[in-house]
Amino acid sequence: MPQEEFFQQKDMCKLHDNMKLDLFCKTCLVAVCSSCVHVSHSHEGQAISNLKDVYSDKKELLRNKLSELKTSEKRYSTHKQKLVDESKTLDDIQEVLVRDIEERGNIIVAKIKEMTQQLTEYVV
């Protein structure tokens, strides 16, 4: 909702009829009207700000947090892709190692069979 539209709302003070809530008590964290501050003294001595300024400050804070979140999301995506790539590399290495073990095992079995045949021929 645009700032202009937000402040066109007709939020009125429940204690002071027809008084627009245009101030913000930072101590109580509530929107108040000028009568709450100056006439009723219910927020006297407390930190009071213009509601539009508080809205703008909070809006800027949210923008900054959103920007930080987007940056974190990009870093997460980058790290995630790196892990996916490294996992694929490890899978490829594993496949090569298994093939190598099988080939060497077949060579060893063939040599044992050959030696077995030679020894059998020697004895017979």
How many domains does the chain fold into?
A: 1
Give the pLDDT mean for 40-51. Answer: 77
Confidence (pLDDT) at 2: 56
Domain of 16, CATH number, reads: 3.30.160.60
Contact of 30 with 21, CB cutoff 8 Å = no
Cα–Cα distance for residue pair 26/56, rounded to 1 Å: 14
Cα–Cα distance for residue pair 9/36, rounded to 1 Å: 19
Higher pLDDT, 3 or 13: 13
Confidence (pLDDT) at 104: 98
Cα–Cα distance for residue pair 66/55, rounded to 1 Å: 16
Cα–Cα distance for residue pair 45/27, rounded to 1 Å: 10
Confidence (pLDDT) at 13: 81
- pTM for the model: 0.54
Question: Could you list the residue range(s) of the whole structural domain that residue 34 is in?
Answer: 3-123
Confidence (pLDDT) at 4: 54
Query: For 58-99, what is each residue's pLDDT tens digit?
Result: 999 999 999 999 999 999 999 999 999 999 999 999 999 999
Provide DSSP, the chain: --HHHHTTS--B-SSSTT-B--EEETTTTEEE-HHHHHTS-TTTTS-EEEHHHHHHHHHHHHHHHHHHHHHHHHHHHHHHHHHHHHHHHHHHHHHHHHHHHHHHHHHHHHHHHHHHHHHHHHH-
